[in-house]
Amino acid sequence: MSFAWAKQYEPKSAFTKWIDEKLPFPRLVYNAVGAGYPVPRNLNYMWNFGVLAGFCLMIQIITGVVLAMHYAANATVAFGTVEHIMRNVNYGWMLRYAHANGASFFFIVIYLHIFRGFFYSSYKAPREMIWLLGVVIFLLMMATAFMGYVLPWGQMSFWGAQVITGLFGAIPLVGEPLQIWLLGGFAPDNAALNRFFSLHFLLPFVIAGVVILHIWALHIPGSSNPTGVEVKSESDTVPFHPYYTSKDGFGLGVFLILFTAMVFFLPNALGHPDNYIEANPLSTPALIVPEWYFYPFYAILRAFTGDLTIPFTGIVLIPAKLLGVIGMFGSILVWFILPWLDKSPVRSGHYRPLFRKFFWFGLVPTMAALFYLGGTHAEEPYIMLSQFFTAYYFLHFLVILPIISQIEVPKPLPFSITEGVLGKAATTEAPRAGTVDGGDAGTLPDGSLQPAE
């Protein structure tokens, strides 16, 4: 599960020895996030976000369990119990704001985590499974966040539930019965609210389970790194503790400063005022949009305005409504095949000049634009812009990336992580405690230049 030079856990006291024989949990922790897990020495701050995401999940579970002690999932009182939490419960306002902003920060952290994955091609072999599990976690997060947003039973909650379950209504034949089944009625009401509460409570623990698989899968090949060159010798790694516990600890401090600043000074900046109006099934808010973290996918959903028809016959193959749903889900599902779309053997964007151009001037502005467009009114020029950027989004993954990986001439990679960090001269001078010393290293094949498969 780890490199040969990983330090072994050695219980010192009689008690820890006893524990180690009966249930080697301290050993597990030691090997997972302790000194027994060697990590590439050159990780930059983009590698903080995995730990931060785990921390966000903990914030959400702790504050969520507490909020559930005061909340009632009943359509007649739900809105009132949220106000009760805000006004009556001791520190209820703080816990609820921490939970609501915690969701936003969870997504900020996750998007930066995914951004890291895109730029450094963390999805490539041998780490495909980590990536696939990550996409599963992201989908579960989206479902959880959506259902959580319904619980306050405000106007945005209600109409969010109406619109999102309406997506399933687009599916041919079974769509409408499916939507009614999902809601337990013809419109969002008590039945829907109750099941959303139940599932909103359950799913975070399912996420925690998949996170464990995600970390398990990570620990088999070990972390990637900014050069994309695989670890070759002990000089390429440092123990997770104390090197990355302290680096992650610093990142955590910065995260907490930003998080608490939002919770205490701008608690509603990322929310919608309409959700402080109780749900009214007879009146839709003027601008109905999801929370900001769903904007890109909402923009893609709204980009499909015309039916797919056979030209000149007027036969509708796929109606616009279904196209939008396919587009929205497809925009995330395409990530599942990403490891097989980008076949370049070079991982890091630093050594891929052509990829880097399309990344910074193609994908990044596209995502930024979709983030913006998802929050706008459904009118021109926003619809046209959404269509343009949606088209580029799919083009990037399905066409541009495969072509780049075929035609690109990557820059020369450093022989090893140590060489990448310290330069060629330092590689041989650096003292080595491992079995592979600087002299022998030059004769070893560079595994990172092998094809990703």
Q: Which residues bind other proteins (CB under 8 A)?
A: 7, 35, 41, 62, 66, 69-70, 84, 87-92, 94-95, 234-235, 238-239, 241-243, 246, 249, 256, 430-431, 433
CB of 2 to other proteins, least distance (A): 14
Distances (CA, A) of 54 to 113, 131, 137, 318: 11, 16, 11, 40
Judged by beta carbon, residue 66 or residue 192, the one nearer other proteins is 66
Q: Assess contact for 37 and 219: CB atoms under 8 A.
A: yes
| Annotated catalytic residue within 232, 247, 272, 350 | 247
Judged by beta carbon, residue 69 or residue 202, the one nearer other proteins is 69
CB atoms within 10 A of CB 286: 7
Judged by beta carbon, residue 125 or residue 430, the one nearer other proteins is 430
**Interacting residues of 81 by C-beta distance below 8 A, sequence separation 6+:** 70, 71, 72
Catalytic, 223? Answer yes
CB of 34 to other proteins, least distance (A): 11
CB of 273 to other proteins, least distance (A): 24
Which residues partner with 316 through β-bridges? Answer: 309
Q: What is the dihedral of CA 54, 293, 178, 140, to 10 degrees?
A: -10
Cα gap 392→299, rounded to integer Å: 13
Judged by beta carbon, residue 66 or residue 110, the one nearer other proteins is 66
| Annotated catalytic residue within 128, 230, 236, 248 | 248
CB of 178 to other proteins, least distance (A): 39
CB of 89 to other proteins, least distance (A): 5
351 DSSP assignment = G
CB of 214 to other proteins, least distance (A): 25
| Annotated catalytic residue within 70, 219, 241, 321 | 219
Judged by beta carbon, residue 178 or residue 430, the one nearer other proteins is 430
Judged by beta carbon, residue 97 or residue 131, the one nearer other proteins is 97
User: Would you list the DSSP string of 22-64?
Assistant: H--HHHHHHHHHSTTSEEETT--GGGGHHHHHHHHHHHHHHHH
Cα gap 157→141, rounded to integer Å: 17
| Annotated catalytic residue within 230, 236, 291, 342 | 291
CB of 50 to other proteins, least distance (A): 19
Q: Assess contact for 131 and 122: CB atoms under 8 A.
A: yes
Max CA pair span of the chain: 83
User: Would you list the DSSP string of 245-269?
Assistant: HHHHHHHHHHHHHHHHHHHHH-TTT
Which residues partner with 237 through β-bridges? Answer: 40
Strand boundaries in 121-254, DSSP class E: 237-239
CB of 51 to other proteins, least distance (A): 14
Helix or strand (DSSP H, E) at 211: helix 190-219
Strand, helix or coil at 398?
helix
Q: Assess contact for 176 and 187: CB atoms under 8 A.
A: no
Judged by beta carbon, residue 91 or residue 205, the one nearer other proteins is 91
Which residues partner with 154 through β-bridges? Answer: 278
Judged by beta carbon, residue 239 or residue 374, the one nearer other proteins is 239
| Annotated catalytic residue within 104, 121, 122, 223 | 223
Q: Which of 441, 417, 425 is nearest to 43 (CA)?
A: 417
Catalytic, 248? Answer yes
Active site residues: 219, 223, 247-248, 291
